[in-house]
Structure 1
């Protein structure tokens, strides 16, 4: 599950970098604020009792999450 969270963080970071390349489609950092459920990985649905998530607290400048059994 740790790899799942790391892959998701890498995708989010990549999306932020790509969005910074164009002023027209640029996302604001505040649009990431809150918790995001991870529902699929590599095209496969996640089927666990506790859904993994990643959260962004923009005001406190922190990232947190849970992969089902591990927290970060």
Structure 2
């Protein structure tokens, strides 16, 4: 997990090149969604669902990896 700790969310579309900023979300990525023919898409919890529905190349059934930790939640 330490490799991705500084990854920022690129959801929900996961744009490439100049559009790599996605929605401009500056939250840290907690999940990584596998895609066909594209690099994995790092997303925050808010953009996980929309990314599964709208990002290009998402595998089905989806492959989701946990790459970070959610902080600030109370039990």
Is the structural similarity TM-score above 0.5? Answer: no
Return the TM-score normalized by structure 2.
0.23
Larger RCO: Structure 1 or Structure 2 (Cα < 8 Å, ≥ 6 residues apart)?
2
Return the TM-score normalized by structure 1.
0.23
Larger radius of gyration: 1
Richer in helix (by share): 1
Richer in strand (by share): 1
